[in-house]
Amino acid sequence: MSRALLIFLAAATLLTACSQPEKPVADHGWMTEPHRPQFHFTPTAQWMNDPNGLVYFQGEYHLFYQYYPDSTVWGPMHWGHAISNDLVRWDHQPIALYPDSLGFIFSGSAVIDHKNTSGLGTDQAPAMVAIYTYHLMEGEKAGRHDFQTQGLAYSLDRGRTWTKYSGNPVLPNPGKHDFRDPKVIWHDASKKWVMILAVKDHVELFGSTNLIDWKYLSSFGEATGAHGGVWECPDLFELNVAGTNDSKWMMLVSINPGAPNGGSGTQYFIGHFDGNVFQSETTETLWLDYGKDNYAGVTWSNIPAEDGRRLFVGWMSNWQYAQVVPTHPWRSAMTLPRELALKRTPPGLRLASTPIHELNSLIQAPETLTPVLPTGSSSSSEYPLPAGALLEFTVQRTDTREDVELELFNAQGERVLIGLTGAVNQFFVDRTQSGKTDFSTDFPGKHVAPRAMATKDVTVRIWVDASSVEVFADDGTIAMTELYFSTQPLDRFRLRGSVGTQVDSVRVSALRSIWTK
Ligand code: FRU
């Protein structure tokens, strides 16, 4: 987010947040307010942004997140916390990290120190170690450049309680204005920890043998990739090339503003990493998700080798309007958790996103509608859309110039359009008339995603929650995540297509809420 905004918001609330009583997360009951996502993670109340500290340990997935417990807009940051056994149903936990004299607790990551390299745990009981950015408001206001440093905290009780390391910060600031969002990984080949840090318009890599003493390794990105805004929340991991024995190193870098459809977005690089230097093979700018609402996403650490998945979650909003969306008493949700894979497409390797299979446990009453859009007709009948739904269908086209469009709508005339424009081979989500849109001029609009594939047939899966749609197509190489705020539920759908376009069947699955016990 912009520096001016940070100063403005934080100055107003600094005093309240630095007194640190143990604050339980407010319990607002059954999570049924208007627009409340029913199968996406939200805090019960108040402000949330980036996912932080994603780590799996002893049967539990941890989700920490940027949290301001005193308001529904951004303010002095804490780490909120939730735990899940399946990445689908979450238990809200007490706040994990509070601001202290070194600053607010900005984004960061968590690892399990299995070998007790830090000496903070024991060999039998390894420490869960969080490394995060301290943002010292007083330093920023005084016009200094070194107000962001990296701190460490650890937990010896499976993430329930946290102790800040007494020697914080573990990585002081050498005088760089934006110096934040550490993602720490274990690099097995060089037997060391590697930290990737966002530094204004590039990332910097640091190495450590004990998580405490960090040494600069290299920089990447000043002259590569998108530069429409500040670089934030990077990630670095190795990923198998699907269907081969090859692997590549992937770097995710969120950028705000500068995303292809405006505001916040996440670009990625495909390349090689030797433990010290990252080299990109990518020549064009690649985006993880073309929707406007998937930002600051990173992946879980310590996923067991027998699972082997690379699991991702993003913040389902955009800094252009995140603080004014019409929800109460909370603001922001996370995207669905997704498995990332690297797939070959005609123009080259692409990162593909697929919602995790655990979400299938939410499916109830799947129904197959048939025939929905026979060839020769340009519009289908109207069908009921359950509140919380997965829609799955394959579009068969006789020509790649043919269009198809799915309309989710209600009796109030509000609608979200999702489709494929054949002539330009682009997917789109159009939320121009989706209900409440006037809270920001950046919200309404038609947003597009270029396809890497050129096939005539297209398989689409769309997850519709109370205030979001997530569109996946072409084996996950198309992902579009978009919010909407209709005044009444979008409770019907229909399909339209060019003559020649055919949809034999649509599978409609009602999804149960993750919040009902
Ligand atoms: C990204 C971000 C991070 C920062 C955090 C502050 O959305 O701006 O760079 O650590 O949010 O809440």
b/e code 287-298 from CB counts within 10 Å (16+ = b): bbbbbbbbbbbb
Answer whether residue 284 is part of any domain. no
CB-CB contact of 410 with 488 (8 Å): yes
Residues 6 or more apart whose CB falls under 8 angstroms from that of 220 comprise 202, 203, 205, 251, 269, 277, 278, 280
Global pTM reads: 0.95
Return the residue whose CA atom lies nearest to atom 6 of ligand 1.
106
Distance CA 464, CA 306 (A): 31
The finding on whether 296 has its CB within 6 A of some atom of ligand 1 is yes
CB-CB contact of 506 with 393 (8 Å): yes
Answer whether residue 494 is part of any domain. yes
Distance CA 173, CA 450 (A): 40
Rg (the chain; Cα; Å): 22
Distance CA 223, CA 231 (A): 13
45 and 164 part of one domain: yes
361 and 229 part of one domain: no
Distance 105 CA to ligand 1 centre (A): 10
Pocket test for ligand 1, best of 177, 233, 253, 298 (most atoms within 8 A of CB): 233
Distance 470 CA to ligand 1 centre (A): 23
Kindly report the CATH number assigned to the domain that includes residue 66.
Answer: 2.115.10.20
Distance 1 CA to ligand 1 centre (A): 6
18 and 51 part of one domain: yes
Could you tell me whether strands 247-256 and 230-240 are parallel, antiparallel, or unpaired per DSSP bridges?
A: antiparallel
Distance 169 CA to ligand 1 centre (A): 18
Answer whether residue 181 is part of any domain. yes
Torsions phi, psi for 358 (to 5 deg): -60, -25
The finding on whether 232 has its CB within 6 A of some atom of ligand 1 is yes
Distance 421 CA to ligand 1 centre (A): 35
Return the residue whose CA atom lies nearest to atom 2 of ligand 1.
1
Kindly report the CATH number assigned to the domain that includes residue 447.
Answer: 2.60.120.560
40 and 132 part of one domain: yes
Tell me the mean pLDDT per 10 residues along the chain, length 517: 47 40 46 96 97 98 98 98 98 98 98 98 93 97 96 98 98 97 98 98 98 98 97 98 97 98 98 98 96 99 98 99 98 98 97 98 96 93 97 98 98 98 98 98 98 98 98 98 98 97 97 88
Answer whether residue 260 is part of any domain. no
b/e code 437-462 from CB counts within 10 Å (16+ = b): beeeebbbbebbbebbbeeeebebbb
195 and 318 part of one domain: yes
Domain count, the chain: 2
Pocket test for ligand 1, best of 9, 46, 49, 65 (most atoms within 8 A of CB): 49
Beta strand ranges found along 241-325 (DSSP E): 247-256, 265-273, 278-280, 286-287, 295-299, 311-315
300 and 417 part of one domain: no
The finding on whether 67 has its CB within 6 A of some atom of ligand 1 is no
Return the residue whose CA atom lies nearest to atom 12 of ligand 1.
106
Answer whether residue 318 is part of any domain. yes
What the block records as the tokens of 465 is 């929650």
- Active-site position among 50, 181, 430, 465: 50
311 and 403 part of one domain: no
The finding on whether 49 has its CB within 6 A of some atom of ligand 1 is yes
Distance CA 217, CA 313 (A): 28
Distance CA 464, CA 386 (A): 9
* Ligand 1 atom closest to the CA of 74, numbered from 1: 12
Query: What pLDDT does residue 517 have?
Result: 60
Strand partners, 349: 344
Domain extent, residue 452, equals 357-511
Q: In the annotation, is 465 catalytic?
A: no
* Ligand 1 atom closest to the CA of 295, numbered from 1: 7
Answer whether residue 264 is part of any domain. no
Give the closest residue to 74 by CA, choosing from 129, 154, 3. 3
Distance 106 CA to ligand 1 centre (A): 6
65 and 196 part of one domain: yes
The finding on whether 106 has its CB within 6 A of some atom of ligand 1 is yes
Answer whether residue 20 is part of any domain. yes
165 and 225 part of one domain: yes
